[in-house]
Structure 1
Amino acid sequence: MGGAPGVTSARYAGPECDATANNAKLLRELEGVRDDKRTARFVCVIALAAPGRETRLFRGEASGRITRELRGRAGFGYDPLFLSDDLGKTFAEVPPGEKNRVSHRGRALAAFREALDSEEATTDEH
């Protein structure tokens, strides 16, 4: 799909559309596509910027595949279609804590938190 829906994923089916319409469009776009070609990933980047300091970026990624039907009731957005490689279930089929442990946002936030903790430890030593 050439990177689609990409950064415009919230408006994939149009500016006034919701997650239901976005999911329906994604399923239509992937009709007839083999399972091994339905790969997907979520990416999140957190930037830490402060005056006089180097800007730092923290990236998290979750890899998976797009299912052929909605699965699960939890989560939001594309969660019912995103079959996580780590979980073997869609993000909508697992509790939020389990999803957050392996999600793109959870991983980016964990890297961010680790850097802050490391910086605090260094600051405390001086």
Structure 2
Amino acid sequence: MSDITAAIEEGAKKSSILWLTLDRPRLAWHAWHDGAIYLVTGGEEQRLPGLEALERVHVTLRSKDNGARLVEFDAAVSVVDQAAAADAVAVLAKERLNARDSEHLTERWARESVVLRLSPETAESSQTG
């Protein structure tokens, strides 16, 4: 595992928020699962306009302790089939604090929201071997 990959994983696990470069820098909550960042947008959830239409997005992870920038990277954006990725959606739902309908959160997401996977693109992951 490269230093950048390790920094991304550590930063994403330690803090449940990140910054995305969209129409302007946008703060978003997320969950780290299986080597990627998962987040939900739309419906009653956070507004991340245009993210689902992008092929890639610039991500900034900051320290939970002092807000210092830990790492920046580009990530490939893909829409998640929520039924096929139930384990990832369950991890994401567990991170969703203060939901009005915790018991039925994933059902609501299936109806009105989009779950996205952000796969970090690093020099290591773009090399062919």
TM category (shorter chain) comes to: under 0.3
Q: TM-score, normalised by structure 2?
A: 0.26
Larger fraction in helix: 1
Larger fraction in strand: 2
Q: TM-score, normalised by structure 1?
A: 0.26
The structure showing larger relative contact order (alpha-carbon pairs under 8 Å, at least 6 residues apart) is 2
